[in-house]
Chains A and B, each alone.
Chain A
Amino acid sequence: MQRIGVFVCHCGSNIAATVDVERVAQYALLEPGVVHAEDYQYMCSEAGQMKIIEAVKEKNLTGIVVCSCSPRMHETTFRNAAKRAGINPYMVEIANIREHCSWIHKDKEEGTEKAVILARAAIAKVNLNTPLVPGESRVTKRALIIGGGIAGIQTALDIADAGYEVDIVEKTPSIGGRMSQLDKTFPTLDCSACILTPKMVDAAAHEKINIYTYSEVDKVSGFVGDFTVDIRKKARSIDMDKCTGCGVCSEKCPMKKIPSEFNRGLGNRSAIYTPFAQAIPNVPVIDRENCIKFKTGKCGLCSTVCQAGAIDYEQEDEIISEKYGAIVVATGFDTIKLDDFDEYAYNQSKDVITSLELERVMNAAGPTKGHLERLSDGKHPEEIVFIQCVGSRDVTCRGKEYCSKVCCMYTAKHAMLIRDKYPDVNVTVFYIDVRTPGKNFDEFYRRAVEEYNVNYVKGQVGKVAPMENGKLLVQGVDLLDNRQILKEADMVVLATAIEPEAGVRKIATMLTASIDTNDFLTEAHPKLRPVESPTAGVFLSGVCQGPKDIPETVAQAGAAAVKAIGLLAKDKLLTNPCTAQADELLCNGCSTCANVCPYGAIAYEEKEINDHGIRETRRVAAVNTALCQGCGACTVTCPSGAMDLQGFSNRQILAEVDAICR
């Protein structure tokens, strides 16, 4: 028989306001096995933990039930307290009377009754608990970064500088990401390329960093410290070792009218191309869908002109398999499609562009060589209207409910840069709210208004109408003045909402990392563990976790690196002992459990079994405890009841159910 102590936490008023904690403790004392029960204001505090430790020693406790918050919050805390008290950490059970009880009830009587029941269930379970000992697993001292934008580059540099090997996998032909497409950066207006390209070079030159561009993650298996990842190196059609990056192939390529992804479709590229001049690696790619050679078998001009003989039409996708201890997701973002926003006439007029397209227009290396001009007729604009929150903070199904966070600042930046370079251009900004928290951010916005006379109008735009005179009639509302505004503009710029890069859902699924309804990756705790995924060994860097600007992205990239380094610095990890076990006498070798196991942890072996004196060779399940994550899928699917989960045995679960139903 266990000697159980029950510790009921007030959690300040979080629990105590809705649950009569004293009564929970009193009732607990009536349960079988319970020899001690008490309540305290903050069980997780040092004083609270000492109460547990003292009670264990005084009353010779063998099991502990803590009635408190979710085990996700403090299970580890109380297991450590048990260890300090000299009992096995797995003799601790948490009754979640906060998230599952006090926070969702208003009536104290109801809340108390439910808390008592939850405590009863936990006590029933501890009565059947057995001490468990964690195993050990190794840590591969190499990190994988998925995504080669500023987030991925910064995380890679920080991990590599700490002395660990890092691989970056980037799906486009070059690292650099969205930041490489930007012209200037707020709030200091320094040139984006000038601060990014040195980091790209550093990453490429770093002896610990290995970059796979034009590559994608194909498959992930394993677990924290010991992931195995298949990386698909897409056929570049170029021998990277031979190519000198001279660029003659792109110059001579006859297919020159392919919309350039890097210039957001505003300029063209050839079929064999490097996305931009500072690309790393400076090795082109053949876009096979548009290449004449691949489409018709004729041409082959690039191969003829290549002095290095680097063109390889026969190249095939190559899959390499690597082991990693940690994986950092840094997949970034894209702007949303505007097909459902026809009121802004984006698809009807070339002079309606997104802010990211304006970055390319303003950039000296962009399609207009940095000259601000209308894309329809090349004319210099006199009147520009910016519309903020296009698809952001939009509760209709066509947009995003969240604030994209960066638009207020980049719109102020665009407005200011235009007014500075072209003082003759009038700039109007329609906004819902101007949100500029951040160091030197609000000062920046005020400069746009006060020094650069940008006309900020609080209100939204209902229609952008392309007129027969080539201008755009902007119909909006000035909410402060309570009047409708009709304004003829030469260009309209849409601050388009940002969303996670399209492939992120597939990657999250491979990593079993959770994502929210907007496809942003979920952090392990929104405040206290913001750069870790709930999946152990997976870390988050940059906009894949939520909208953020460059300073924030870089800060988060560093934080993700530190967390990854903390993992890689360990030689061994303790593994969760709550794994499945097969009862060989009951197992009939049907394979049902192996079919449902998401981790491939169950194998079958031919084994000699002594079944009550009868010796025979049978096919039985065997669990690889290093791979088993303790999900329990096998235990409920096994038709003969042979599978059981340590720490969550069928007996324990049923005892809990019985206690609840009593």
Chain B
Amino acid sequence: MTYSYYPGCTLKTKAKDLDIYARRSAKALGIELEEIEEWQCCGGVYPLATDEIASKLSSVRALNEAKEKEQDLVTMCSACHHVIKRVNDDMANVEDIQTRANNYMELDTPYKGETKVYHFLEVLRDKVGFDKIKEKVVNPLKGRKIGAYYGCLLLRPSKVMGFDNAENPSIMEDFIRALGATPVVYPFRNECCGGYISLKEEKRTVEMVTKIVESAKGAEAEGLITACPLCLYNLNKNNSKADMPVYYFTELLAEALGVKEEVEA
């Protein structure tokens, strides 16, 4: 199982853990992640302006490189996944964007959205299978009550992302269960953490994060997992009580697969 891998900027700086644990776990599961050469920042947000292509080109380059290698493209960060998946959808379905991006790129063969984009969680669910992961777990996280925090970027717009039921998702709960821990379902697991609002309106973000954390605490979660560096930042920084540990999902995966210490060492 070899995939093109797009880590994204944050995974090289603030969110190194998300990346390192993922790579080591992938190895343990027999997945090869080949980092795309000379990838560029995805832009961090999907550009909503319909006539804007400049900030979509980085995604197109990554997608096209995967296409040329005849590989599926795997992402780790929610924001990168969101941007690349949506740009790929544009390249397949929006003629105007497809034409203008290709005119700019001057590729030998125009790119038309051929590459399949998977978030690493989708690879675990659909390619490896949670049952298989369960078999490979050497250090089951027994007795740990973990809440999944989805945020919004992985789920919406649900038609394009095709990730899970946006209103009542279950992929991360199934993932937690595969690791031997007990998933805690709490209602605000798919509510927005505030995202970049935290830079401008800290008070509002604190309100939003508190609502999420209180909801998780009410359901007796001991910790939360996320796939998004920004969500992790907000949940840590803007939780007024700072009483809920938040992990990248890959960290728990590495722990359950028994490769976490090796990474730390």
Contact = CB atoms under 8 A, between A and B. Distances in A.
Interface of A: 341-343, 345, 347-348, 463, 465-469, 473
B79 to A, nearest CB: 22
A473 B187 contact: yes
B110 interface: no
A193 B191 CA distance: 45
Q: Name the interface size band of chain B.
A: 10 to 19
A342 B187 contact: no
Interface of B: 165, 167-168, 187-188, 191, 215, 218-220
Contact of B187 (A341, A347, A463, A469): A463
Nearest to A349: B187
A467 B214 CA distance: 11
**The 4 A-B residue pairs with the shortest CB-CB distance in the complex, in nearest-first order:** A465-B187, A342-B167, A342-B168, A468-B218
B187 A467 contact: yes
A343 B187 CA distance: 9
Contacts of A473: 187
Contacts of A345: 187
Contacts of B220: 468
A397 to B, nearest CB: 8
A465 B187 CA distance: 5
A156 B167 CA distance: 46
21 contacts: A341-B167, A342-B165, A342-B167, A342-B168, A343-B167, A345-B187, A347-B168, A348-B168, A463-B187, A463-B191, A465-B187, A465-B188, A465-B215, A466-B187, A467-B187, A467-B218, A468-B218, A468-B219, A468-B220, A469-B218, A473-B187
Contacts of B167: 341-343
A348 B219 CA distance: 15
A198 to B, nearest CB: 45
B213 to A, nearest CB: 14
A468 B219 CA distance: 6
A341 to B, nearest CB: 7
Nearest to A465: B187
A347 B185 CA distance: 14
A467 B217 CA distance: 11
Given A463-B191, A468-B219, 11 more contacts: A341-B167, A342-B168, A343-B167, A345-B187, A347-B168, A348-B168, A463-B187, A465-B188, A465-B215, A468-B218, A473-B187
A274 B191 CA distance: 46
A468 B220 CA distance: 9
A347 B168 CA distance: 10
B212 to A, nearest CB: 11
Contacts of B215: 465
Contacts of B219: 468
A348 B188 CA distance: 14
A486 to B, nearest CB: 8
Contacts of A465: 187-188, 215
Among B168, B219, B220, which residue has the most Cβ atoms of chain A within 10 A?
B168
A468 B186 CA distance: 9
Nearest to A466: B187
A468 B215 CA distance: 8
A613 to B, nearest CB: 67
Nearest to A473: B187
Nearest to A464: B187
Nearest to B217: A468
Nearest to A469: B218
B197 to A, nearest CB: 14
A98 B191 CA distance: 53
Most buried by A among B165, B167, B188: B167
A468 B218 CA distance: 6
Contacts of B187: 345, 463, 465-467, 473
A465 B185 CA distance: 11
Greatest chain A CB density within 10 A among B187, B188, B218 is at B187
B211 to A, nearest CB: 8
A463 B189 CA distance: 12
Contacts of B165: 342
Contacts of B168: 342, 347-348
B192 to A, nearest CB: 11
A469 to B, nearest CB: 8
Contacts of A342: 165, 167-168
A485 to B, nearest CB: 13
Contacts of A466: 187
Contacts of B191: 463
Nearest to B191: A463
B254 to A, nearest CB: 31
B154 to A, nearest CB: 16
